[in-house]
């Protein structure tokens, strides 16, 4: 029996269903970022600019370690969406239990890796000396919560795959309130600084994991989780690895290229690190809003392939491209118009005497925004194309194209244009829109070819039934 809250991706008008699915997903991501922003604002105001740099400089390294395993949740989403669209209850059940078993193993592995390499990795990134001790402390506490974070991500991926984006939103809302409350208590009352922020994040991740597991246990459909039946089914694991490993490798290599960017940012000093971190946090609101349409395109494509509805595939892509372009341009414009006011939340409110000047932080933040935001919608278009390819079961092609187009361009840019021609803060971030444009054009060509093949295959299967 299909639960009423699940969006029907295979029947009815596409645009209303795409919006119904994507808006809760977008709000989930935005809420998560709001809570992360609260982390940064609290630590900036009550622990100072150095603490802000310590927390903000960790994101690229965290993503490098975490994204390989998070990629497996993409594989789980592809598998579950296709089985669910085909109404194959038996395989949905097996895929769900395999995914949740893998989530626990992935979480433990991520935690151990993070604890072991935290300090050496920060040293390799040339993290400023005044920041590195606090950065290391933050990382080590943060990674203690990785098993819970992985369980939540896999569980939420399953819910999204069957059309339920509302319950992850409710869970993140409650977890975020817990996170903000603990931030205020641990940082302001107990003066724990970056440690307090990390502890609050870890506790909220544990809450999210418990709640998503309870949601799956109390579901009354083929994706219901029964803890005593947790096991890894080899064929389902291989399917998830086939789709998930390329996604994880792509995300991790993206993060590796961003670490090279972050290392270059570090060379401009603590003010640049703090300003870039604050601007990056604001940019995350635009990216997360756009990224909702990548997940939407993936889920709708996967379910319609499972249901053998080839006539809907092209329209799904075009509607998601329209939505992501409008969203990206609108939100980027807002960010540029009100960037100074938004960045001031991270900078000018600091009550702690610190060597890092709030005015310097604000200046670096705005310089980054003006080079990222005007072309940010290109990143959204690129992500939707990737979502369509993955939804059709193609994972290696978008991985290779993205690695060469995004990471390759950025790395070459850093070591040539930036290092040898014009070593400025602006030149560094110009690499982003250049890499997005090149990569989306390559993805578009791949999509036209692969989508045509998939539609032709589905029509042949329908004719032979």
Contact call for residues 330 and 367 (beta carbons, < 8 A): no
Residue 441 burial (CB count, 10 A): 15
pLDDT score recorded for residue 352: 43
Task: Measure the CA dihedral 373/69/149/88, to 10°.
Answer: 100
pLDDT score recorded for residue 244: 86
Nearest in space to 320 (alpha carbons), one of 336, 298, 337: 298
Give CA–CA dist 215/120, Å, rounded: 39
Q: CA triplet 297, 382, 407: central angle to 5 degrees?
A: 130
Residue 2 burial (CB count, 10 A): 13
Give CA–CA dist 286/325, Å, rounded: 11
Give CA–CA dist 49/215, Å, rounded: 40
Give CA–CA dist 396/225, Å, rounded: 30
Q: DSSP class of residue 227? A: G
11: tokens are 């029947």
pLDDT score recorded for residue 122: 83
Q: What is the pTM of this model?
A: 0.78
Give CA–CA dist 237/229, Å, rounded: 15
Q: Compute CA distances 155 → 15, 23, 298, whole Å.
A: 26, 19, 17
144: tokens are 């203690």
pLDDT score recorded for residue 50: 67
Nearest in space to 410 (alpha carbons), one of 429, 395, 391: 429
Kindly give the confidence (pLDDT) of every residue in the chain, 465 residues in length, as a single tens digit, with 9 standing for 90 and above: 344 567 888 898 999 999 999 999 888 888 877 776 677 777 766 766 566 666 766 776 777 777 777 778 888 988 998 899 888 999 999 999 999 999 999 999 999 998 998 889 888 877 778 778 888 898 899 999 999 999 999 999 999 989 898 899 899 889 988 988 998 899 888 888 888 888 998 999 999 999 999 999 998 889 999 999 999 999 999 999 988 888 888 777 777 777 788 788 888 887 888 888 888 888 988 998 999 999 899 999 989 998 899 999 999 999 999 999 999 999 999 999 998 888 887 764 444 445 567 788 888 889 999 999 999 999 999 999 999 999 898 888 998 998 898 888 888 998 899 888 888 888 888 999 999 999 999 999 999 999 999 999 999 988 887
Contact call for residues 209 and 178 (beta carbons, < 8 A): no
pLDDT score recorded for residue 140: 93
Give the DSSP letter string of 41-108: HHHHHHH-HHHHHHHHTTHHHHHHHHHHHHHHHHHHHHHHHHHHHTT-HHHHHHHHHHHHHHHHHHHH
pLDDT score recorded for residue 1: 38
């Amino acid at each position: 029996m299909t639960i009423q809250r699940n969006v029907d991706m295979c029947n009815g008008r596409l645009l209303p269903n795409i919006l119904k699915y994507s808006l809760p997903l977008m709000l989930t991501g935005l809420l998560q970022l709001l809570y992360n922003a609260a982390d940064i604002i609290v630590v900036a105001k009550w622990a100072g600019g150095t603490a802000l740099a310590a927390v903000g400089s960790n994101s690229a390294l965290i993503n490098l370690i975490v994204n390989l395993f998070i990629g497996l949740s993409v594989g789980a989403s592809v598998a579950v969406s296709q089985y669910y669209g085909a109404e194959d209850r038996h395989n949905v059940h097996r895929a769900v239990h395999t995914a949740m078993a893998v989530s626990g193993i992935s979480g433990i592995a991520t935690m151990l890796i993070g604890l072991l390499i935290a300090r050496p990795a920060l040293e390799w990134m040339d993290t400023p000396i005044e920041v590195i001790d606090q950065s290391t402390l933050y990382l080590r506490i943060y990674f203690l919560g990785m098993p819970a974070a992985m369980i939540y991500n896999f569980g939420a991926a399953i819910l999204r795959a069957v059309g339920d984006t509302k319950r992850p939103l409710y869970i993140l809302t409650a977890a975020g309130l817990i996170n903000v409350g603990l931030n205020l208590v641990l940082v302001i009352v107990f003066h724990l600084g970056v440690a307090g922020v990390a502890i609050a994040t870890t506790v909220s991740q544990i809450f999210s994991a418990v709640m998503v597991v309870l949601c799956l246990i109390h579901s009354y459909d083929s994706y219901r989780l029964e803890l005593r039946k947790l096991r890894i089914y080899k064929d389902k694991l291989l399917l998830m690895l086939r789709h998930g490993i390329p996604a994880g490798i792509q995300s991790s290599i993206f993060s590796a290229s961003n670490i090279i960017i972050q290392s270059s940012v570090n060379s401009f000093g603590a003010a640049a690190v703090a300003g870039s971190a604050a601007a990056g946090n604001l940019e995350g609101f635009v990216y997360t809003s756009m990224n909702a349409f990548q997940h939407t395109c993936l889920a709708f494509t996967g379910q319609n392939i499972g249901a053998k509805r080839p006539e809907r595939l092209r329209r799904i892509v075009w509607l998601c491209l329209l939505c992501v372009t409008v969203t990206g341009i609108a939100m980027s414009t807002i960010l540029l118009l009100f960037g100074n006011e938004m960045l001031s939340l991270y900078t000018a409110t600091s009550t702690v005497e610190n060597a890092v000047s709030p005015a310097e932080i604000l200046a670096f933040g705005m310089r980054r925004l003006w080079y990222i935001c005007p072309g940010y919608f290109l990143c959204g278009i690129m992500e939707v194309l990737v979502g369509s390819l993955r939804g059709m079961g193609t994972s290696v092609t978008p991985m290779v194209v993205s690695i060469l187009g995004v990471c390759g361009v950025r790395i070459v840019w850093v070591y040539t244009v930036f290092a040898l021609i014009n070593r400025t803060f602006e030149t560094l971030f110009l690499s982003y829109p250049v890499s997005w444009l090149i990569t989306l054009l390559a993805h578009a060509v791949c999509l036209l070819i692969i989508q045509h093949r998939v539609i032709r295959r589905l029509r042949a299967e329908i004719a032979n039934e």
